Structure 1
Amino acid sequence: MSIAQIAQTTRQAARKLAVLSADAKNQAIEAIAKALEVAAPSIVAANVADCQAAQAEGIAKPLYDRLKLDEVKLKSAIAGVRDVAKLPDPIGVVQIHRELDTGLILKRVTCPLGVLGIIFEARPEALIQIVSLAIKSGNGVILKGGKEAVRSCEILTKIIQQALAETVVNPQVVQLLTTREETIELLKMDKYIDLIIPRGSNSFVQFVQENTRIPVLGHADGICHLYADQAADIHKAISIAVDAKTQYPAACNAIETMLVHSAIAPNFLPLVASALQEKKVELRGDEKTREILDIAAATETDWSTEYSDLILSIKIVDSVEAAINHINTYGSRHTDVIVTEDSEAAETFLDRVDAAGVYHNCSTRFADGFRYGFGAEVGISTQQMPPRGPVGLEGLVTYKYRVVGDGHIAASYVGNQSQKFSHRDL
């Protein structure tokens, strides 16, 4: 089939999915979880083949880390599928229920977007998360994984479609594309695709944004910061910094720059540097930092670089205001954290840092749909308009206005003092 035919087929299947009950959708999601569990050895084997082929082609380490789908990652992804099933049904929720006049009733009711186009590099577990969220929210989904993950994506899609075939959900609500040419065609399908969600590198996301008229949800960079304030608990700051940088350095919510107040720098920097270097982190610093630490010099480019690796740039600042200015200048509006015992400084930071996630005394690694209790996420958005941050079900629904009357006509309310709107919330 052509891409247009695939998109049409997906939309037709999605329209039937949109009106299914919550129980029917949840049964389909559980069927997927069970099928993935049964097929786990085959899934892991396919991923091993992908990883071996990617290594042979010299894949970058951060991308390789995202590509790898071992038993632990797979189990976590399956747990996320079941968590999605436990969430309230986002469809059919009455957001507004209002009497406009006697017998004339307005309701604003949530409904699916329609068809999602998801384009991602590596991250085969993202396919699992996205499909479960799409089904729960009543949306069809067309997936395009990176060439490095083609075996993983093909077996996952096959297992999911076979599982859906045993339920009332049409398997055609989930489709997989595998070539770059198909990606280009997908981006032209504004007649059939309602939202594009890209997950990958800065250049990849920008390419998608520049080559489609379809709305795009996502983020290009994950330049996250940790600011150790003058009132920071040093041991707390060290623990958070190590976690935020090393727990999964390829993730978009890992910190790339650490800002340190000058008042604590002489005592704090040697300790945190030692802890980070034990974890094999390469440190780069500004001139003031290098007066304390024997590390490489950070350049202007470092402040705006997402390393996605065990590299961290460090800068000394003289105030919380200076830290905020640096973050708002160089950050990507993803997630930033202040470590401090000063509640006033913390509130200033949380109020004035322009980011989807602003944290106090905890790791940026919590910026994740699963950890937020969303079950899973389709991606993280750094745009100003909602949805923002980790996007779960709420980002995959829209709404429609339903108005029910009894022969009411608008002309009755023009120049008629006796005919007025009541606008009474019910």
Structure 2
Amino acid sequence: MELIQNLLANQLFFSVIMMAVGLGVIAGVSAPFAILFERKLSGWIQDRIGPNRVGPWGVLQPVADGVKFLMKEDITPAHVDKPVFIMAPFISMIVALIGFAVIPWAGEIHFPWMDEGATVRTQVANLNVGVLYMLSVASLGVYGVVLGAWASNNKYAFYGGIRATAQMISYEVPLGLGVLVVILIGGTLELDKIVYAQAQSGVWNIFLHPVAFVLVLTAAFAETNRTPFDLAEAEQELVGGYHTEYSAMKFAAFFLAEYSHMATNSALVIVLFLGGWAPLPFLSFWSPEHTWWNVGWLAALIKFGCFFGKIAAFLVFYIVIRWTVPRFRFDQLMRLAWKGMVPLAIGALVLQVLMTALGFIIRPERGFAGNLPTVLFALAGNAVLIGLAMFVTARSTREVTGRQDNLPAVGNRNANAKLSGIIQ
């Protein structure tokens, strides 16, 4: 027993345990049951029952799906680049999971058997460039898709890979600019310090920059290749997209990677804008003192529950959007990124630079009331940004939908006229 207590008091061992348990829970439990929840919720949205045959109320459906994927024939087409074809889905899955290494789940813990003042972090790796690490990991997600598409030697898969690349490059720009706004607010790249500042002041960053929050959330949504940003695997156009040639466990790896990526992006948005493990805004939930709430193990469980609850809420949001919003057309997707989100992100960044220059800086020790003038100034600036965006949109003469006049004609006009006559 003493050996176990000493090991848990060691930061390295505690981090290894957290990583092992975290990967097991996320890949083995959370992602499969998130898939089950999506099937249930989509059934409710479409006036169906959803999975209800395996286990009580269908709760064992993920187990049945896992057994099914294990027993299916693992087909590797003869024309593929076999080593890359096999590696691609697991690259996607690994990249989706390693982002959790720098997420501060519940602050610090002081166990009763530890020395006075000693704590362990509920964070596998406390990098001083944690924000850059998360951005780098997020940008690596496209490699699995592109490599799988290229190695498949299939035109539909290749089209899906090209679309994924263009989409990733486009939406990385507003994502990076939105994250830079948060970096300027806190003056740090360490994720735990960003959370501590929000928890101590009670001022979550969403109240300072709601526009940046929407931009980062939308860009994170696009990076997961979920509807309405799922052009890389549009079934009506590309059969199955980049995973057309995949089957059995390799297909399951792509599937699990998508849901793991959703959880990773949700955790990043929560840390940057929604206070991380802080239960509520407007109130101070952290101070430098060594109190039970700051370092107690029971408080750590409560904080972890708050963090996990926020992730679950984001997953519900992802699922509802998928089943209620239609897919973008590709030109709409690109125009949204470059003509809509990038200018707004630059505007939010300029606003934060102006606030810093004028002395409107969040000081966590003042609490929410002491930082209220800064919050009001930031909200006024965001209102101006939204007003400018609406004005520019209203003044634009370009139609949002429909075929544009400056695009070339499709097919032969005479042939189209004959076809119209036949149909009539």
TM-score class, shorter: under 0.3
What is the TM-score of this pair, normalised by structure 2? Answer: 0.26
Between Structure 1 and Structure 2, the one with more strand by share is: 1
